[in-house]
Amino acid sequence: MRRPIAVLAASLLALVISTGPAAAHAKLDSISPADGASMAAPPEKVVLTFNEPVGSSGLQIQVKSPAGVNVATGEPQVLDGTVTQPVGAMIETGRYQVDARVVSADGHPITVSTGFTVTHAGHPPDSPPGTQPVQPSNNNTVTIVAMCLVMLVVVALAVVIVRRRPARP
């Protein structure tokens, strides 16, 4: 009886330990344009890179001009730990403020606030609609459900093993 209980305990411990990294919050690794950067040509997009995949639900990104107008256009694209936000015409010179809210894999919201300076007004011509590839969104729900199912199977197998053993005289 002790052996199956020890196997069950070891299996559950291994499952709990293996889920540890998934519970950590994502952290911003880099942002482009970099915080405090000064550039002559306005960027076409803002790219946030995180140390782990982030979700697309609850994602909000604003790129505000010096006058406070949001120049972010379209929906942000999420691919693993990279979030890309296209921006429209940047017709003002000065500091642009980037405010973002991203949700990490464990559901924890992450807020980012940075800025960059554009020294020459204008913007490269927009690309024709539909030329930017649509990136798949990352959804960690499948991973969590799969881990729960594996844990249930291990527990069920342990129960079957314990019940099938003949009683000792």
pTM across the whole model: 0.58
Residues in Cβ contact with 80 at an 8 Å cutoff, skipping those fewer than 6 apart: 53, 138
Mean pLDDT, residues 75-86 taken together: 93
Residues in Cβ contact with 14 at an 8 Å cutoff, skipping those fewer than 6 apart: none
Terminal-residue alpha carbon distance, the chain: 13
Mean pLDDT, residues 106-112 taken together: 87
The pLDDT of residue 38 is: 94
Residues in Cβ contact with 74 at an 8 Å cutoff, skipping those fewer than 6 apart: 86
Q: What are the structural domains of the chain?
A: 2-164 (2.60.40.1220)
Q: What is the mean pLDDT of the chain?
A: 81
**CB-based contact 65:96 (threshold 8 Å):** yes
The pLDDT of residue 104 is: 85
- pLDDT category of residue 17 using cuts at 50, 70 and 90: low
Mean pLDDT, residues 15-27 taken together: 63
**CB-based contact 46:61 (threshold 8 Å):** yes
More confident residue, 81 or 130: 81
pLDDT for residue 86 is more than 70: yes
Q: Please calculate the CA angle 28-29-34 and round it to the nearest 5 degrees.
A: 95
Distance CA 80, CA 157 (A): 34
Mean pLDDT, residues 124-151 taken together: 61
pLDDT for residue 131 is more than 70: no
More confident residue, 64 or 147: 64
Query: How confident is the model over 36-72, as pLDDT tens digits?
Result: 999 999 999 999 999 988 888 889 999 999 999 999 9
pLDDT for residue 107 is more than 60: yes
